[in-house]
Structure 1
Amino acid sequence: MTNKSEMTKIHYGKHGMLSIFLLSLLILLSGCTREETPKKVSLYDRTSAVSKDADDPSRDTLWFGFDPRLGPKEEVLIYTPFLTYLEQATGKRFRIKFNERDEDTINNLGKGVTQFASLGTLNYVIGHNKYGIRYLVSGVSRAGDPKYRSAIFVRPESSIQALHDLKGRCFAFGSHMSTEGHLIPRNMLEESGVTLKDLGNYIYTGSHINTVRSVLNGECDAGGIQDPLAARLAAEGKIRILKMSEPFPGSVIAFNSAVDSETVNAVKAALLAFDPAGSHKDMLFGWDRTEMPLGFTEINEQELDKVAGFAREYGLLMQ
């Protein structure tokens, strides 16, 4: 015969099992709901997180920043082997710091978040003026010199034949802080009699590849981008180049002024010895898509003065 105490235990046990079942069902359903909710994640945030978490880098780690160019996934594949080369050549430890905006590359280098960075000429001039960042070396183009050009392009089927035809049209610049994507194309337009006021509209897409997309998808009629990307897309029949600019000093590697001279000299020697088309070719991936396809060299810093002059003219550099 079951006593009162045993009945209480049985009664409690049945309700306990029911409660556990209902609670489990609720958790399962809420879990399904959460899984079905899409989340927007920045690929630049993800690549930065990977870098920060990797082996818990010590204070001896050197962080290397890069201006955004081709998109984070492709840039990871390109620059990771390059930093492996620097580690082997210098005995130093390097990590990648990707930046979603050109301004972040400048600020991170100037504030010491990164110790080295690959920068467009305009960004270097701004960073030098604002933070005192220092010049190290310049990238060597396919032509074998440390200069590059900007290209203004349209869709292959476009009726636009010359720069003066762009009056009243939409023009896509890259980053507001880009030499090849903004500063030089803007100067090219003005030399052809087309000011920003003459354009029907203009936008800043944030990167060269975004400029290409905005033109190809019909958002804008023309755009300005770096010459290596323009040459490749033109050869593939995806764009038509309207005009190339005169040569300007190309991208540079710069460093934070607080980096010790021994480290600076070691990195400089490694960069000047870097041979991406020869002895180091097999360890690289897609290096020919960068702005330094043939490695690095030194230039006279006075060659950067013309870019600084444009920057002041367009209000991008303090007097």
Structure 2
Amino acid sequence: MSKWLNRTHCVAVLAMIVTLVLALAGCSSSSTPARGAVPDTLRVALLPDENAGEVLKKNQQLKTYLEGKLGRKVELVVTTDYSSMIEAMAHDRLEFAYFGPLSYLLAKQKSDIEPFAALQEVKGQPPTYQSVLVANPASGIKTLHDVAGKTVAWGDPASTSSHLIPKAMLAKAGLRVDHGDYQQQFVGAHDAVALAVQNGNAQAGGLSKPIYERLIESGTIDRNKVVVIAESVPYPNYPWTIQASLPAEFKAKVRAAFLDLDDQSVLKPFKGAGFAPVTDQDYNVVRQLAPLLGINLADLSK
């Protein structure tokens, strides 16, 4: 009798365990959407080009606009750095994201993502932007050649306009950091670059021209202490990207939301007139730039 009870007890316990496991599995599948499914809350990442709190504050109108257009809640995300944003996209913790050209290429190596829109500064014009090299007049720097022997501040290693492009500008002028022509330091964000130059922690620095202009307008930096010494040629602007695994109908809806956007209160933080369509091929010019500087994209994406 006791053996029968023990056996019955074991069967009952096993049944309870199986039931619990199935219940937990059910909860897991309902709370985490399957890859390719459209979640109730869309996670949308913005680049950590400036202070995260400021980026989120400035883009609340974008959040409201997208929620209205897409019929879903939107969670804006600003990661600590470019690498964290790339990893978040690679691990399906974001549905779409606003990358810089270089960080997009790095993310593309780890994620199946598609670029679909980039900012137009002027309607009808190509979606391009420029980088600037700035200097503190107290350093005596007036031209690119004057940067020799000085310390240059860059933003993030994966930044296009606060690393890759201005570094290429110096290389074209005959100055390479790998040849010991100047020293470099990475300070994280574009605003940190401008402040490093203003405070004398670096004599020169590189950042996005639109961000430089915004920092001047807001009074964050003094135009007499951080001056532009050179501007780059135009490069393809920051792309909005989306997970390729999402349904085609939803991706088309997201694309239309950006391409139809003309609300200036939403566009104000971007300093542009609207968004234009882009494809992966538009960023080949950036792909070709990295090897010329001895920069290995595979190494940067690790």
Which category of TM-score, normalised to the shorter sequence, fits these structures?
A: 0.7 to 0.9
Query: 1:60-209 maps to which residues of 2 (within 5 A)?
Result: 60-142=40-122, 144-196=125-177, 197-209=179-191
Separation of aligned partners in 2, 1:157 and 1:218: 9
In structure 1, the gaps of 5 or more residues are 1-55
CA distance in 2, matches of 1:183, 1:274: 30
Q: Which among 223, 226, 235 is matched to residue 237 of structure 1?
A: 223
Contact 1:123 1:177 in 2 (8 A): yes
Task: Please list every run of 5 or more consecutive structure 2 residues that lacks an aligned counterpart in the other structure.
Answer: 1-30, 34-38
Moved more, 166-175 or 300-309: 300-309
Match of 2:250 in 1: 263
* CA distance in structure 2 between the partners assigned to 1:258 and 1:300 by the alignment: 17
Deviation of 1:66 after TM superposition, in Å, equals 1.3
Instruction: Give me the whole-angstrom Cα distance separating, in 2, the residues matched to 1:163 and 1:78.
Output: 34
Equivalent position amino acid for 1:212 in 2: A
Q: Distance in 2 between matches of 1:271 and 1:90?
A: 11
Farther-moved stretch of structure 1 (56-65 vs 117-126): 56-65
Residue 261 of structure 2, aligned match among 262, 266, 274:
274
Cα distance between partner residues in 1 of 2:86 and 2:176: 28
Q: Deviations over 1:193-246 (max 9, x none)?
A: 000033442101111001011111111000000011223456762421000000
Cα distance in structure 2, aligned partners of 1:96 and 1:316: 31
Q: Quote the offset at 1:97 in angstroms.
A: 1.6
Which structure would you say has the larger RCO, counting Cα contacts within 8 Å and 6 or more residues apart?
2
User: What code does the residue aligned with 2:130 have?
Assistant: R
For 1:78 and 1:57, the matched residues in 2 are separated by 29
TM-superposition CA deviations, 1:129-167 (whole Å, max 9, x none): 222221111111258431011000012444111111111
Q: Aligned letter for 2:154?
A: F
Query: Structure 2 CA distance, aligned partners of 1:179 and 1:270?
Result: 26
Distance in 1 (alpha carbons) for counterparts of 2:183 and 2:88? 32
Distance 1:125 1:265 in 2: 22
Matched AA of 2:243: N
CA RMSD of aligned residues (A): 2.2
Find the aligned partners of 2:126 and 2:263 in 1 and give their Cα distance.
15
User: Aligned to 1:161, what secondary structure does the other structure show?
Assistant: coil
* Secondary structure in 2 matching 1:96: strand
Match of 2:192 in 1: 210
What is the rounded CA distance, in whole Å, between the counterparts of 2:170 and 2:296 in structure 1? 18
Deviation at 1:300, TM superposition (A): 4.6
Shift >4 Å, 4+ stretches = 56-59, 232-236
228-237 or 64-73, larger mean C-alpha shift: 228-237
CA offsets 1:238-257 (integer angstroms, 9 cap, x no match): 42100000000010100112
TM-score normalised by structure 2 residue count: 0.78
Partner of 1:10: none
Partner of 1:219: 201
CA–CA distance in structure 2, aligned partners of residues 302 and 250 of structure 1: 13
1:34 alignment counterpart: none
Local SS of the residue matching 1:103? helix
Indicate if the aligned counterparts of 2:176 and 2:182 stay in contact, CA closer than 8 A: no
- TM-score of the superposition, structure 1-length normalised? 0.74
In our comparison, the structure showing a higher alpha carbon Rg is 1
SS in 1 for 2:251: helix
Work out whether 1:250 is the aligned partner of 2:237: yes
Q: Is residue 284 of structure 2 the alignment partner of residue 302 of structure 1? A: no
